[in-house]
Amino acid sequence: MNESPAPLAEQAATALAAVLPLAVPPVPVPASETVPAVDAAVVASFVGRVSADLAVVFDATAPEAPDAPALTTADLLQPALEAATAVLGSGVLDDARVDDASALFGDESATVFELQAEGRVVGWFAIRLRNDLRRSEDNVMGRLGRISNVEMALTVEIGRTRMPVRDVLAIEPGAVIELDRSAGSAADVLLNGRLIAHGEIVVVDQDYAVRITKILDTAEELA
């Protein structure tokens, strides 16, 4: 990967903005003014060939956090953060959480973007690339070896759909949610939210299981 930090940061901001749960997709623009209070931003860290710290914060009008306790603002922004880190290559993104991001937004090594929609700033996105992009692959793998014993969440996904928050809150027992995948299609295998393989659902001793049919490399994962 030959990109310098600035283009990577711009790619990450563009990818994040396209997936944000807003009525009008915002446009990321390098911040020209000091960001207001960021003591309750949605933050996450990514560890991989290129590691990064990320934070997103909005103004008082967007997006609205759902009333349902099962869905938090961090939950709503997790897909957008996943999209942002997808441009960085292979790695693992931790779960988004609400935390104080003042240090990140104030760090000179971080790149900060305004999220503009309909002529006004609706939020801000900060990303700090923490690794030297020129280091060797062997050195990267050596660093990742330090966390080789850390447990991670492996998820099998049979499909997805996008729904407005009002429709999610209206779900009741017996409701049918249509997914974006036809019957018989391969299931996705995700490691901490990152797609790593495809497989088929099987039953083993009356328990559901997945038989891996294909392991994805970085190029396939980002396609």
pLDDT in tens, 8-46: 999 999 999 999 888 888 999 998 877 777 888 999 999
The hierarchical CATH code for the domain 5-138 is 3.40.1550
Higher pLDDT, 101 or 32: 101
* Domain 151-222 listed as CATH 2.30.330.10: yes
For the whole model, what pTM was predicted? Answer: 0.59
Phi, psi of 95 (to 5 degrees): -70, 135
Which residues in the chain are classed under CATH 3.40.1550?
Answer: 5-138
Mean pLDDT value of segment 59-83: 71
Q: What's the CA angle centered on 218, arms 56 and 124, to 5 degrees? A: 10
Q: Which amino acid is at 164?
A: P
What pLDDT score does 144 carry? 61
What pLDDT score does 154 carry? 87
Phi, psi of 204 (to 5 degrees): -125, 115
Which residues in the chain are classed under CATH 2.30.330.10?
Answer: 151-222
* 135-138 own/partner pairs: CB under 8 Å, 24+ apart: 137/49
Report the C-alpha dihedral over residues 107, 111, 117, 118, rounded to 10 degrees: 90
How many percent of the chain have pLDDT more than 90? 28
Rg (CA), the chain: 19
5-19 and 73-86 are packed helices; what angle lies between their axes, rounded to 10 degrees? Answer: 140
Q: List, for residues 121-164, the tens digit of each pLDDT value.
A: 889 999 999 764 444 455 555 666 666 777 788 889 888 888 88
Q: What's the CA angle centered on 138, arms 83 and 222, to 5 degrees? A: 20
Neighbours of 46 (CB within 10 A): 26
